[in-house]
Structure 1
């Protein structure tokens, strides 16, 4: 009886996990295996190739464009991950104080950009930042004394892409922080206020320690997402001017889809995959240690 019941539970468990396991193997595991396998061949984008070992990686490390794309990707991450997280937390601390329909309205307004397609987002900001009639040019002119074609300027291009990205994705961070703040019992704040604690002290001693797990999650998610930057750069600058916004996924696109070098493109994708895994794991572990 025991063995029959155990076999029944095992069969049920297999049936339950089979759809997920099948989807995981087909959608993730097999493509990752093929990516690694192709990176050691001279295969075109479609078709088979000859084994070249580490030849694609040697070729890759000999390209100046590869180092440029790594640097630009890291620069973009610095411009977006921490600012996006801090802005989301700051907005959440303000929005959580609102009540009823007003809070719901503000949340909707902040979340609307997140559900917009990237093509719509980039088109909006190309109008806003247009050198001739963009309304943001009044602000730029006030601080610099002149109008600037920001997406054609090597200094301005990447910060502007980062600004658009923060505006576009911050609504998701805001919702995560709102959920975390709502889980903090109000009794803690009431007891602290009775003891004479200020709002700053409440934030430092109550809010910040208890919201830290959510902050670590947001930082890790943002790091992974921003390392995969492609759409905004491709639509706004196409990697220019002078490769100042050329990122790793754009190098994958160039090698694989434009030059038909499937092996080299896979090698770039493998390098990006390893960077994401190593950096995100290190960051998450550091954040866990900091949380403790």
Structure 2
């Protein structure tokens, strides 16, 4: 029995060894180096001298840091909950379809998610172009004039949020469709026999049973949108007037633009702390709501 137990242990260790090695090399060691570099004046590549908390003091004295934190949180507000609700609404319409029609509509909504960010941003720059964009007549009908949306501080961040929701919503739709299919139809049939309306069925059956998936989608969206960078970099470069400047762009500028790896690491640590803190807060709120 001891020999058999030892064989099982060695087999288990061999099976998990590739994951553990990859985890240590790809995640754990870089995170450690990030924390270590944040207390030095190291360049992007190479070692530096210990400076203690100087990078953090400098960061908290930098107005651009507070601007980037505000813009990042503003983007989260514009995307996380709307993206989740839109995905849920689309999924509830899709599950009412059948056969190839349902599959075709689901593919149609999921297709943007597989596109690279460069293609997505290029498409929307064409769509929103001030002179030739096909969306400009709609904007003109609403505000009375054509708007260069990515050069206007009021429009820039909301438009980046719209592009992000269009791009990433397909994944949320797929999760919600899978969850809706797992709800037994017997529940709805019994509720209909009792005279429950569609709204009552949603409130008493669909929403409670969908809550675990909804919490998962909200958490994934929160973490992903706090790390916003690609769309901002390709569409607005942080402008106009720093109205779309986000934390990861500050990290990129300090690390790759100014070769200040230590200071960039301090900003990255701040972003890491924000993601952990906001994620824990959201988890506790969702847990309390689930109960």
Under a length normalisation based on structure 1, what TM-score does the superposition of the two structures give? 0.99
Is 1:171 aligned with 2:170? yes
Displacement after TM superposition at 1:282 (Å): 1.5
Task: Give 1:8's aligned residue.
Answer: 7
Rounded Cα–Cα distance in structure 1 between residues aligned with 2:178 and 2:28:
32
Is 1:267 aligned with 2:250? no
Task: Give 1:107's aligned residue.
Answer: 106
Displacement after TM superposition at 1:286 (Å): 1.2
Displacement after TM superposition at 1:6 (Å): 1.5
Q: Where do residues 88-103 of structure 1 align in structure 2 (5 Å cutoff)? A: 88-103=87-102
Task: Give 2:229's aligned residue.
Answer: 230
- The 3-state SS of whatever aligns with 1:148 is coil
Displacement after TM superposition at 1:8 (Å): 1.2
The more displaced of 108-117 and 279-288 is 279-288
Displacement after TM superposition at 1:281 (Å): 1.7
Displacement after TM superposition at 1:288 (Å): 1.4
Q: Where do residues 51-90 of structure 1 align in structure 2 (5 Å cutoff)? A: 51-90=50-89
Task: Give 1:153's aligned residue.
Answer: 152
Rounded Cα–Cα distance in structure 2 between residues aligned with 1:62 and 1:132:
41
Rounded Cα–Cα distance in structure 1 between residues aligned with 2:41 and 2:3:
53
Rounded Cα–Cα distance in structure 2 between residues aligned with 1:285 and 1:91:
27
User: Gaps (5+ residues) in structure 1?
Assistant: none
Q: Where do residues 122-271 of structure 1 align in structure 2 (5 Å cutoff)? A: 122-271=121-270
Is 1:29 aligned with 2:31? no
Displacement after TM superposition at 1:208 (Å): 0.2
Task: Give 1:19's aligned residue.
Answer: 18
Please list every run of at least 4 consecutive aligned residues from structure 1 whose deviation after the TM superposition is greater than 3 angstroms: none
- The 3-state SS of whatever aligns with 1:229 is coil
Rounded Cα–Cα distance in structure 1 between residues aligned with 2:6 and 2:45:
45
Displacement after TM superposition at 1:278 (Å): 1.2
- The 3-state SS of whatever aligns with 1:107 is helix
Which string of whole-angstrom CA distances, capped at 9 and with x for unpartnered residues, describes residues 114-140 of structure 1?
000000000000000000010111011
Rounded Cα–Cα distance in structure 1 between residues aligned with 2:116 and 2:11:
40
Rounded Cα–Cα distance in structure 1 between residues aligned with 2:46 and 2:214:
44
Rounded Cα–Cα distance in structure 1 between residues aligned with 2:106 and 2:283:
28
Displacement after TM superposition at 1:5 (Å): 1.6
Tell me how many residue pairs correspond in the alignment. Answer: 291
Displacement after TM superposition at 1:285 (Å): 1.9
Task: Give 2:43's aligned residue.
Answer: 44
Displacement after TM superposition at 1:55 (Å): 0.6
Displacement after TM superposition at 1:158 (Å): 0.2
Displacement after TM superposition at 1:10 (Å): 1.0
Task: Give 1:281's aligned residue.
Answer: 280
Which string of whole-angstrom CA distances, capped at 9 and with x for unpartnered residues, describes residues 208-250 of structure 1?
0000000000000000000000000000000000000000000
Rounded Cα–Cα distance in structure 1 between residues aligned with 2:207 and 2:285:
17
Rounded Cα–Cα distance in structure 2 between residues aligned with 1:288 and 1:109:
33
The RMSD of aligned alpha carbons is: 0.5
